[in-house]
Homo-oligomer: A and B are copies of this chain.
Amino acid sequence: MGELKLMKGNEAIAEAAIRAGVDAYFGYPITPQSEVIEYLALQKPHETTGMVVLQAESELASINMIYGAAGAGKKVMTSSSGPGISLMMEGLSYIAGAELPCVVVNVVRGGPGLGTIQPAQSDYFQATKGGGHGDYSMIVLAPASVQEMSDFVPLGFDLAFKYRNPVFILSDGLIGQMMEKVELFDFVPRWTEQEIIEKNPWATTGKTPGRERNIITSLYLDPGIQEKHNEKLQAKYRKMKKEEVRFEKIQCDDAEYLIVAYGSSARIAQKSILLAREKGIKVGLFRPITLFPFPFNEIKKMANQVKGILSLELSAGQMVEDIKMAVNEKIKVEHFGRMGGIIHSPAEALEALEQKIIGE
């Protein structure tokens, strides 16, 4: 068993980055995720694994530093929250367009605008439907524990390099700020320069006589070529939809009602279903782990079993649209969620289920 530590979610991400052999982190402080860069600054991984840590002048700069380093074949990541993530939309669209692997973490806080620094889940659309311009998608992982904050870093990089695509970790202030026990995985050495060149033959590692020059670009002035490129991207996204759907089912076997919730809401919901079962109501929890690709088919299947679904999100109702698309009016689907940094209590969530779904 790996080393056990009590850590904040944000610290776990940072520690996992060092252990996963990440080459560089570029970022800009913002609550509630500044601990990521602070932890890294304190650990000085530059002196151990050689990982570079740099505070950029802005989120615009950091996402474009990511672009550069990722284009050169390195394992790189950044993290931010709300306003900072919005500033990265152009860069993310470029990264997706240029097919670069990287991991980007959003520790979501309440919006819109400057909003509040308390936890929220209101950036679901931005993450899953593409907040930037153009047709692109990212794999979106939603950790629901500090352990997953750690585990999804190496997983994220595996997927990012497998698909040459950005992977987005959609966390929130609750998961980022809480401490839990984490089992830390063992250190993975950073790729050597030779390994980088071999594993990423497309990367700008310097044109050697043996190969054509490598170009990282998202520009295709000729619409015909641009369309081919887009089709290639779409094929990749279809493959993700087929192969990368991840979810967890808790007490779903005998469930008559279902709560669908991810991340921190899934934690709340876990307690809600306990409360429900104490009252004799058979409720299950379906937790999407990948928000893109979204587990449409699995939820569709559940819709054949249960009588109604409550989407529990810290938002005005975003994921609920995907659930509705999956379920297609077969059964009742409703949203319940608090906003602006208020976190629904387990009891409140159960009450919502009773009123909105079981009710009539």
Contact = CB atoms under 8 A, between A and B. Distances in A.
Contact of A340 (B85, B98, B220): B220
A189 interface: no
A110 interface: yes
Interface stretch (A152-160, A229-237, A264-272): A229-237
B223 A110 contact: yes
Interface in A67-115: 82-83, 85-87, 89-90, 93-98, 108, 110-115
Given A315-B135, A324-B325, A97 B125 contact: no
A297 interface: no
A339 B229 CA distance: 9
B227 A338 contact: yes
A226 B114 CA distance: 11
Interface residues of A, number: 67
Given A220-B340, A234-B316, A83 B229 contact: no
A112 B135 contact: yes
A217 interface: yes
Task: Count this chain's copies in the assembly.
Answer: 2
Contacts of A328: 328-329
A221 B5 CA distance: 32
A219 interface: yes
Contacts of A325: 321, 324-325
Interface stretch (A116-124, A140-148, A350-358): A116-124
A98 B340 CA distance: 14
Contact of A111 (B108, B110, B133, B227): B133
Nearest to A93: B112
A224 interface: yes
A122 B134 CA distance: 5
Given A229-B340, A234-B316, 14 more contacts: A82-B134, A85-B133, A87-B89, A111-B133, A114-B219, A115-B133, A115-B134, A122-B133, A123-B134, A226-B339, A227-B338, A230-B316, A231-B339, A234-B339
5 contacts: A83-B94, A83-B133, A112-B135, A129-B318, A226-B340
